[in-house]
Chain A
Amino acid sequence: MSKLSHLDELEAEAIYIMREVAAESEKPVMLYSIGKDSSVMLHIALKAFYPDKPPFPFLHVDTTWKFKEMIEFRDNMAKKYGLEMLVYTNEEGRAQGINPFDHGSAYTDIMKTQALKQALDKYQFTAAFGGGRRDEEKSRAKERIFSFRNSAHAWDPKNQRPEMWKLFNTKIFKGEEVRVFPLSNWTEKDIWQYIRRENIEIPSLYFAKERPVVYRDGNIIMVDDERMRLEPGEKPVMKKVRFRTLGCYPLTGGIESDADTLDAIIEETLSAVSSERTSRVIDNEAAGSMERRKREGYF
């Protein structure tokens, strides 16, 4: 009897989860953040329901501060696969000029967390797939695959529903939702190996290239457009960098690297000395910051 490889097992688990949600949830949506995890999730969704299209729309919460290339990539993918791609921005926040330079963690709350909540309310989604993995951060390591959220979208980590075998309980009351993480058991390395095996398209920001950057508080920030505020004396320099995670460009730290192929990236990931979330500026604020944001409704 043949046995599944580690990656096949993870893929089959993710497909199982997606099909359960498609079968049992009234109105599911897949959160699409354009990064590598979202790319893997989209790829698996395309396989899971083949020859049909995924039976749910995709949702991108656009903070208006994403890398230019990410937006192009999103639109191309939606077109290529004929996806229903919903794009949502917190217009109130935009009108007030909320930005990552002046508003710090309030920016993340208003343009990401609040925007996501508004979008979920607007469309009345009952289940939302997210690309979160348990190896990313300590509070994520404790989250169920089906993470139940109350009508204020909040997570109660001390009272999670038991999740037995693969018998997922999707029952909710009106106004509540379930966040579903089909990639819970994947590691960063698994993601890269799968991208290589399946030949999955990802934004070129993941590959090392000469880019205009500034060095700030131990992070390497790319100057993606003219809105980037330079501090006195700061001058963009061209450096060969790549990104391990993608988000809002002023908040996403790159790393100096020569890895411009998937093999080189995997090689680098295997021997990495830092976990990928160090390159997210918001995670370093305080111990427990991720858990706090999740309780408030963040993915």
Chain B
Amino acid sequence: MQSLLKFITCGSVDDGKSTLIGHMLYDAKLLFADQEKALELDSKVGSTGGAVDYSLLLDGLMAEREQGITIDVAYRYFTTDNRSFIVADTPGHEEYTRNMAVGASFADLAVILVDASKGVLVQTKRHTRICSLMGIKHVVYAINKMDLIDYDQNKFKEIVRNIKKMTAEYEFESLFTIPVSATVGDNITEPSARMPWFKGGTLLNYLENIDITDKADEKGFVMPVQRVCRPDHTFRGFEGQIEVGSISKGDEVVSLPSGESANVKSILVTNKEMDTAFKGQAVTIQLDREVDVSRGCMLCKDIDLSVGKMFTAKLLWMDDTKLVAGKNYFLKIATKMVPAVVMNIKYKIDVNEGNQVQTDRLYKNEIAVCDISCSDKIVFDEFKHHKELGGFILIDRISNMTSACGVVEHPLRRDDNLTWHNMDITRELRASQKGQSPKTIWLTGLSGAGKSTIVNELEKKLFEIGKHTMVLDGDNVRMGLNKNLGFKEQDRIENIRRIAEVSKLMNDAGIIVLTSFISPFRLDRRNAKDIIGHDSFIEVYISTPIEECEKRDVKGLYKKARQGDIPNFSGISSPYEPPENPDIEIDTTGKSLEDSVNYIMEALEKYM
């Protein structure tokens, strides 16, 4: 049975990663004829001097070919007589470090390229650190471009010494260094006649033979539950992939976090009933009694896992938006997703020398050690013991972006000396706790235009998608806060001012405010906007024309106003000044309530 090796290639820009893999595939005759033809054709256009440019095989995106750099991970598949390979060719450019980490999280082994004429660079150190962080246990340093330093053995030895020094702090299970030239082809698939002093064989030979079997003792059993399978009342099975050890029919398992135990009644490995199943297999397990098991729980046997809410972790930040301590995220670990807060940033790790640097924020491509607190108990293990049970991601609750990945270093107990980052609870933090961006949605329009009806429906829609909202309208403002105000000009201005101030306070509290007032004067609305803040104020103009409003006349107000019973009635005895540049405008004439509300919801999306 052929084994599979997943590896990545990484290194600094222009170290020749894509060229190395391209050359390996070309030499090993692992290309289809049409790919080879396309390569030669592309080379004529793309490369200097018409020589075959092997990197064109891997740089697949148009932007990459135009810019001549690798932006994202490219996966390639090849098989030799001895092994099947999946290689993730990862970008060297610093800006795309997170894509390099994506490749590293997938691989068992890393081939890190070093330019022989430049030696160990910042990016070499950074990539080594990220490979280690992502759990790679085997690394190969390919000292490339040996042709540029005349195949000098002493210079090679010097680089190897620097590599040994750099890697002293990591716990790699194997480390190998090999001098190569990717463009010329030395020591790639054929031993180089120009470096007879090197007796270590070729890179391909090494990759074909390295043993990557997990040396760790695989006792016990863990299966994170993905789903409950319940086709009818006679069957209740727990679907998942076994991450640790093995399980047999009749074994007693414990469900975590509840701690209840039961015996295994049956095991399906995919769709076949089996007596035993082991690590890596997709199974559906039935237990002999009802226990509390759902997605995110773990079925375990003979293993010591942590159950708790807090842990210390190392984070790689991957988002353009910076991390600020105290911010709330979704944390996904194994099959469990919970809201979680990064309590503090203990220190940042300088990627070059590994020094600890004090900081209160973390930017893209930086690594830091943090304490994390989840809103609910989770089951986990330290990453160094089990990568599947100790690796996690953080998802931004507003943008849905995968903001960071992390590895659990150790659990924290309540009585551990825990410190929250010394911070002020800001508007941003309150909003992030709610997973929303607080705005004031200010509806303006004539009486009868449909403001109140729309606001009520809008609030329901927002509530449904988990937003925390508050409506301010005549009913709840005139009765209390503003009951001492009448309808004179001074009172009118004060009315709007108070509403705006309350809206601002609520926005500061993280709440989305919807207001429904005629607010006929531009000046008043501008004052409100100044108070609430230009970024938070969304003006929605319900532009239903007066003829339509008067036709509807739900409260009979127009009739009274026409009879002169209501002084200063907007649109009749007092002007209504329509907004000049509303953020959103809708005329509800002939539109159903649902259509109007959906239109506004869609338009709001870009502000929320």
Contacts and interface: CB of A to CB of B under 8 A. Distances in A.
Interface in A7-65: 8-9, 11-12, 15-16, 19-20, 22-24, 46-53
Interface string A264-299: 000000001111001000000001100110000000
Contact of A164 (B58, B231, B295, B391): B391
Contacts of B235: 51
Given A135-B77, A184-B75, A19 B105 contact: no
Interface in B322-342: 330, 332-333, 335, 337
B497 interface: no
B75 A171 contact: no
Contacts of A185: 75, 77, 86
Given A48-B282, A50-B270, A172 B400 contact: yes
Given A48-B282, A174-B465, A20 B226 contact: yes
A274 B241 contact: no
Contact of B101 (A51, A161, A164, A292): A164
A169 to B, nearest CB: 5
A138 interface: yes
Which among A51, A142, A185 has the highest number of chain B CB atoms within 10 Å? A142
B1 A5 contact: yes
A189 interface: yes
A162 interface: yes
B229 A52 contact: yes
A169 B281 contact: no
Contact of B282 (A5, A6, A12, A163): A12
Nearest to B282: A15
A19 B465 contact: no
A162 B268 contact: no
Given A11-B270, A273-B32, A165 B72 contact: no
A158 B98 CA distance: 12
A48 B237 CA distance: 12
B54 interface: no
Contacts of B42: 287
A49 B282 CA distance: 10
Interface residues of B, number: 74
A80 B4 CA distance: 35
Given A19-B226, A139-B61, A158-B63, A167 B284 contact: no
Contacts of A171: 330, 395, 400
B280 A12 contact: yes
A41 B365 CA distance: 36
Given A51-B231, A51-B235, A142 B2 contact: no
A171 B229 CA distance: 23
A173 B398 CA distance: 10
A157 interface: yes
Contact of B246 (A1, A142, A157, A184): A1
Nearest to B388: A165
B1 A164 contact: no
Nearest to B6: A185
B239 A134 contact: no
A2 interface: yes
A275 B34 contact: yes
Given A167-B391, A169-B332, A12 B241 contact: yes
B95 to A, nearest CB: 11
A139 B60 contact: yes
B35 interface: yes
Contact of B32 (A9, A139, A166, A275): A275
Given A15-B270, A139-B60, A169 B32 contact: no
A19 B279 CA distance: 17
Contact of A48 (B35, B213, B270): B270
Interface in A148-206: 157-158, 160-167, 169, 171-174, 184-185, 187, 189
Contacts of A167: 332-333, 391-393, 405
A4 interface: yes
A87 interface: no
A51 B270 CA distance: 10
B4 to A, nearest CB: 5
A78 interface: no
Contacts of A6: 1-4, 84
B15 to A, nearest CB: 19
Contacts of A19: 226-227, 239-240, 282
A230 interface: no
Contacts of B218: 1
Contacts of A237: none
Given A1-B279, A167-B391, A274-B34, 13 more contacts: A4-B281, A6-B84, A12-B241, A23-B335, A46-B271, A50-B270, A51-B229, A138-B59, A163-B105, A164-B405, A167-B333, A185-B77, A291-B61
Interface of A: 1-6, 8-9, 11-12, 15-16, 19-20, 22-24, 46-53, 134-135, 137-142, 144, 157-158, 160-167, 169, 171-174, 184-185, 187, 189, 272-275, 278, 287-288, 291-292
30 contacts: A3-B280, A4-B280, A6-B2, A9-B4, A15-B241, A19-B239, A19-B240, A49-B229, A49-B239, A51-B268, A137-B60, A138-B60, A142-B60, A157-B71, A162-B101, A162-B405, A163-B102, A164-B105, A164-B391, A164-B402, A165-B387, A165-B388, A165-B405, A167-B392, A184-B75, A187-B77, A273-B32, A278-B34, A287-B65, A291-B61
10 nearest A-B residue pairs (beta carbon): A138-B60, A50-B271, A52-B231, A15-B282, A273-B33, A171-B400, A47-B270, A275-B32, A164-B405, A19-B226
Interface of B: 1-4, 32-35, 42, 58-63, 65, 71-77, 79, 84, 86, 98-99, 101-102, 105-106, 134, 213, 218, 226-227, 229-231, 235, 237, 239-241, 246, 268, 270-271, 278-282, 284, 295, 318, 330, 332-333, 335, 337, 387-388, 391-393, 395, 400-402, 405, 465, 605
